[in-house]
A and B are shown apart, each in its own frame.
Chain A
Amino acid sequence: MKPLSLIVRTGCNLFAWFMLVFGVNVVVHGYASPGGGFQGGAIVATFIAFLLVSYGGEKIHSWVNEKIYDLILEETGLLLFITLAFMGLPTSFFYNFFTIPWEAYQQTGRLFPQGTTAIMSIAVGIEVAGALSMVILSMFKGIRLVSDRQIEEEPGHDR
């Protein structure tokens, strides 16, 4: 995939970051509004798709370290999620252990983030952002192998 024209790249420079911020916004407000972890995470992952389309593959692969997505983002999300699930355990698995009582809403009229649900939504958002970026990057790598028609030495099956 070759880099696109200057106009596209400039547009990407301008708007890709807003995409990122918008995705994070959807994730953070996901507990009580349309959207949530998965949707926000998917929006965040389009950031990588943006860069990939406008700047082309070689540059992206020199810019990003896949470990960031693979290890840091995905692992953080997954571990945060399951830790929260385990933390409710003395009562029950997935128990919402620091929910704000309904009375608080009735007194103030404000809907507070509902305990673990909000954090789990963020955890899912982090995980999905990492995982979908990984999917895009690794599928792109696969395309490159096909288009160059060189079957490189696979690390998989060494017999």
Chain B
Amino acid sequence: MIGNAPFFVVGLLFLWGLMAIFTQKNLIKIAMAITILGSSVNMFLVALGYRTGGRVPIHFLEGDGGPMVLPTPQAMTLTAIVIALATTALILSLIMLIYRHYGTINVDEVRRLRG
């Protein structure tokens, strides 16, 4: 049971992020929610690769005993983090542009496109 704790946290964080995206009105908060969503997925990947009592999967830093922790999910997580960084920078820039055009970052008022 306790071994599954990371996955419950992942589920909670994911739902939290998803809920925040749908309920929040502030664009910055929505950007934060997207980041939380990404972090929860990254945590899921890292938790997948963990082995109880595992060693560091680096050649000259490994300790004694136990299996090696899976390095592939960590590589995947790093890639996902890089992508998330690019997206976050882009989202924040878009929010800045939206603020310049509309003078607000309330989602309800940023609605020129409809119908």
Q: What is the interface of chain A, defined by CB distance below 8 A to chain B?
A: 32-34, 36, 38, 111, 135, 138-139, 142-143, 145-146, 151
Residue in A32, A139, A151 whose beta carbon sits within 8 Å of that of B60 in the complex = A32
Q: Are B96 and A111 in contact (CB under 8 A)?
A: no
Q: Are A151 and B100 in contact (CB under 8 A)?
A: yes
In the complex with contacts A135-B89, A139-B92, A139-B93, A146-B59 CB distance below 8 A: no
Interface residues on B, range: 10 to 19
Question: Least Cβ distance of A133 to chain B in Å?
Answer: 12
B78 interface hit (Cβ, 8 Å):
yes
Residue in A32, A36, A135, A142 whose beta carbon sits within 8 Å of that of B97 in the complex = A142
Q: Are A146 and B93 in contact (CB under 8 A)?
A: no
Q: What's the count of A-B pairs with C-beta under 8 Å?
A: 29
Instruction: Name the B residues within 8 Å of A34 (CB-CB).
Output: 58, 61
Question: Least Cβ distance of A113 to chain B in Å?
Answer: 13
Q: Are A32 and B59 in contact (CB under 8 A)?
A: yes
For window 31-75 of B, CB contacts with A under 8 Å fall at 58-61
Q: Which 5 A-B pairs have the closest CB atoms?
A: A142-B96, A135-B89, A38-B82, A146-B100, A146-B99
For window 58-115 of B, CB contacts with A under 8 Å fall at 58-61, 78, 82, 89, 92-93, 96-97, 99-100
In the complex with contacts A38-B78, A38-B82, A139-B96 CB distance below 8 A: yes
